[in-house]
Structure formats: C-alpha cells, structure tokens
Amino acid sequence: MKKEEKFGKFGAVMAMAGSAVGLGNMWRFPYLLGEYGGAAFLMVYLACAMLIALPIFACEFVIGRRSGMNCMGAFRALSDGKGIWGGCGMLFVVTCTIILSFYSVIGGWSLEYFFKACTFTFHEGISSDELSGIFSGFVSSIWPSLTGFLMFVWLTVYIVRKGIKSGIERFGKVAMPVLALIVVAIAVYVFMLPGSLAGYEYMFKADFSKLNGSVILAALGQSFFSLSLGCGCIITYASYVSKKDDMIKHSIGITVIDIIFALISGCAIMPAVFSFGLDPQAGPSLVYETLPYIFSRMPFGGIVAIVFFGALLVATVTSSISMCEVGVAYLSQERGYSRRKSCRIIGLCTILLGSLCSLSFGPLSHLTLMGKNIFDMCDSLSSNLLMIAGALLTVYFVGWKMKREDVYDEMVGRGTAKSHAPFFKCIYFLVRYVCPAAILVIFIQGLIDML
C-alpha cells in the first residue's frame, strides 16, 4: 500500500469542516428551522448533533486515524478481515459516488448562477416570473445544465488530483476562512435591511407545539447529512490526520463550526426573505429563484449576488472533494492505481450517473420509480438508506467489535490527553447504546419513506 501524505493541524480541521459545511448548511438548515418550529427545532437539532452525530463522527475518526487507510482497508485492517468487515468498506465507496453524482448536479447549478451573477443577469427590473422561467428553463435544459455539471465535476476532480496537501488541504485552508467572512458579511448586511426582524423571529421563536416524532427525525437526518456521516468521508480524511492531533478537540470543533455555519447562513438568508415579504419555505427554489429576486431589488444587490453564489459554490466544492476522495483513496490504495487514474475512474462514474440525474429534470423526467425521478431516487437511496446503514456499521464496529482499550487509546491521544477520559466514557456509552437505537429508528423511517 502506498504511504499517503498527512494534513497539518489547521488543514485537517479546515478540510473536515469543508466537507461538513455545504448545501446542507446554506439552504436546507434555515428552511427546516423555520418549518419545524424555530428555537424548538434548534434545541432538538443541537441535542441530535451533540448526542448522536458527534459520537458517530468520533467513531469515523477513530476508524480512519487508527488504521491510516481508506474505508475498505480501514475496516479490514482493524477487524483482521473477518466476516463482513473485510468488504463492507465498498458500501462507503458506492454511497459516496452516488452522492457525488447528484450533489454535483446542484454544484453545476451554483456554478451557472455564479456566472449569471457575474454577468448581472439579475438586473433591477427582472420579474419573479422571469426568474422562475430562467431556473426551470435551465434545469430542464440538456446542454446548459450538463455543461454546468461537467465543469463542476472537472473542478472537483482537478483539486483532488493535486493530492492531499497541495490540493485538498490547500484549498480548504483558503476557502473556509473566506467562506466564513463572506457569510458573516452578508448576514450583517441583511441585518440592516428594513423588516428583517421578522426573519429572526421566524427562525428563533420557539413553537413547541410543532414538536413531534417527524421533527426529531428531520433533525437527526439533517445532523447526519450536515456532518457528512455514514459515507466514509470522515474515515478517509481522518486517515490523513497526524497521530499527534487531539481527535476529541477536532471532533467537537468541527461539529460546532458546522452548527455555527448553519445558523449564520440562516441569518444571511431568512431575514432578507422576510424583508421582501417572500415565501420562506420555497425549498431549492429559495436559493435559485427567491434570492436572485431579492438581489435584484436590494442596494448593491449585483455585488451581493456575486459574493453569495461564489460562497455557495465554494461550500459545495469543499464538500464534493471529500466525496471524491473516498473513491480515489480506495482505488489508489487498494488497487494500486495512480492518483491520476483513480481520479479519472471516479470522475467517469460520477459523470455517467450524474448526467442521468441532471437529465432527469428534462428529457428523462418520465423515467420514474415510485413517483421519484432518477435524481430523487439517488438522493433518497443514499440519504435514507445507504448513509444510515453506513453509520450503523460504523457505530457497531467501534462500540462492539473494536477493543475498548484501542478506542480509548485513540480518543485520549495514546494517554497524552488523560483529561479527555470523561469525554471518552460519555462518547463510548452513547456509541454502544444510544446511537445504534437512534440510527435504527431513522433507518426504519427511511425505509417507510422510500416505499
């Protein structure tokens, strides 16, 4: 097996935070927050993130760093290749490639909208009908949407091909701080718009009457997706983290960064939506129809649009490179292919499946299964089943298969961070009992939702 490079400390945090921060934070979270009861949902979300998602994140960290290998090699090495463990890493490689395929379609939309913003398409007099015409015309087109998608895949593969240090780490170290600055700047600007207060009220006013089982499931599902769990990204990235780094600190830090990003993105979007009296529950069209409308009406909107879509693009790329790396690490370490060849293979698989996803909004929209087009099928297959199955395997493996001393050793820095022992105890308990139960519930719900 080839020896891979390692991330620096800051680079490791930025790369993992880059994987976590993405579309899930920038449009899904603010919308869920509003829909499911504001502060009440926020409390449930924080509990899910800290008590379920964080321990799973720590498990993936343990598996990746202890083995220092890709998903396939990691499970095999830590289990001596016995039973299903020798081959279960393949599940992660497949899941990630499916997610990468449909995520890149949306990445292509962000790229196209960034270009549109740069050419000032969202000019002052544009009507909301024109904007929805632009969006639906674009996503249902063949070549314009495929071109955006292909360019996005090329960009992802280009960064991954440059390697761990000069590609992924270098990009994350610049992109994440810039992204944070941009999102904060937009949030401050939006705060000053007249009528924005209603947006904060929508997001943060606690409405406990809206809390029920489906809200808890939504919060759990969102915390999984947002922290990139169950698909091997964290296992793969953790294998590039130095043994000297404090993994408990990293895990807590990245979870907190992810939550803060989601909250600030909400503060950058929702108050603006309210300031213009628009519908906060528009889903994907919130970003590609409602926001361009707002940008066309606000002072300096042309610039804000460029900056916003630039930020969205960066957030999407930092996530997509982590998905691509899962397959590339597998092919280069297990099959002995060069990084270049591995990137080509993963790129090609992504292009094949992703093109079908892209065309499923246009010429292939009639191809449906249980009422879902190809894009929605890939989305729900991976989010409702494959990622959840991956997370279940992960916690079961760390909680019940690995030796307790090994997990302890990894979490408390081989005895160098003994003060983390209480954290270890707490996380280990959650991993053994609470996480598997919670994951099983989401798994069953996901199955019911799919059928």
Rounded least distance, CB 20 to ligand PHE, Å: 5
**Which of these ranges, 78-86, 180-188, 227-235, 391-399, lies near ligand PHE under the rule CB under 6 A?**
227-235
Q: Residues 252-257: contacts with CB within 8 Å, 24+ apart?
A: 252/54, 253/13, 253/17, 254/13, 254/16, 254/17, 254/20, 254/57, 254/227, 255/49, 255/50, 255/53, 255/54, 255/57, 255/227, 257/13, 257/17, 257/20, 257/21
Can you tell me which of 226, 239, 290, 358 binds ligand PHE, judged by CB under 6 A?
Answer: 226
CB closer to ligand PHE, 211 vs 256: 256
- Copy the structure tokens of residue 354: 């992703």
CB closer to ligand PHE, 145 vs 319: 319
CB closer to ligand PHE, 296 vs 319: 319
Q: How far is CA 77 from CA 74, 92, 133, 135, in A?
A: 5, 16, 53, 48
Can residue 24 be called a binding residue for ligand PHE (CB under 6 A)?
Answer: yes
CB closer to ligand PHE, 379 vs 407: 379
> Which x/- pattern, by CB under 6 A, does the window 61-90 give for ligand PHE?
------------------------------
CB 416 within 8 A of CB 249: no
Can you tell me which of 101, 156, 228, 236 binds ligand PHE, judged by CB under 6 A?
Answer: 228
Count of residues touching ligand PHE (by CB under 6 A): 15
Cα angle value 415/419/423 (rounded, 5°): 100
**Which of these ranges, 20-28, 61-69, 74-82, 175-183, lies near ligand PHE under the rule CB under 6 A?**
20-28
Can you tell me which of 12, 13, 20, 306 binds ligand PHE, judged by CB under 6 A?
Answer: 20
d(CA 315, CA 172): 10
d(CA 283, CA 103): 16
Which residues, in sequence order, are CB contacts of 299 under 8 Å at separation 6+? none
CB closer to ligand PHE, 104 vs 322: 322
Can residue 319 be called a binding residue for ligand PHE (CB under 6 A)?
Answer: yes
Cα dihedral 404, 410, 414, 418 in deg (nearest 10): -80
Can you tell me which of 7, 13, 15, 25 binds ligand PHE, judged by CB under 6 A?
Answer: 25
CB 46 within 8 A of CB 252: no
Longest dimension (CA), the chain: 66
Can residue 91 be called a binding residue for ligand PHE (CB under 6 A)?
Answer: no
Can you tell me which of 61, 138, 225, 424 binds ligand PHE, judged by CB under 6 A?
Answer: 225
Can residue 261 be called a binding residue for ligand PHE (CB under 6 A)?
Answer: no
Can residue 23 be called a binding residue for ligand PHE (CB under 6 A)?
Answer: yes
Can residue 265 be called a binding residue for ligand PHE (CB under 6 A)?
Answer: no
Rounded least distance, CB 53 to ligand PHE, Å: 11
- Copy the structure tokens of residue 436: 């598997």
Rounded least distance, CB 25 to ligand PHE, Å: 5
CB 230 within 8 A of CB 436: no
Rounded least distance, CB 239 to ligand PHE, Å: 16
Phi, psi torsion values for 447, nearest 5 degrees: -60, -45
Phi, psi torsion values for 255, nearest 5 degrees: -60, -45
Rounded least distance, CB 318 to ligand PHE, Å: 9
Q: Residue 297's Cα: distance from chain center in Å?
A: 31
Rounded least distance, CB 42 to ligand PHE, Å: 17
> Partners of 372 in the beta sheet?
369
**Interface ranges with ligand PHE (CB under 6 A):** 19-20, 22-25, 99, 225-226, 228, 231, 233, 319, 322-323
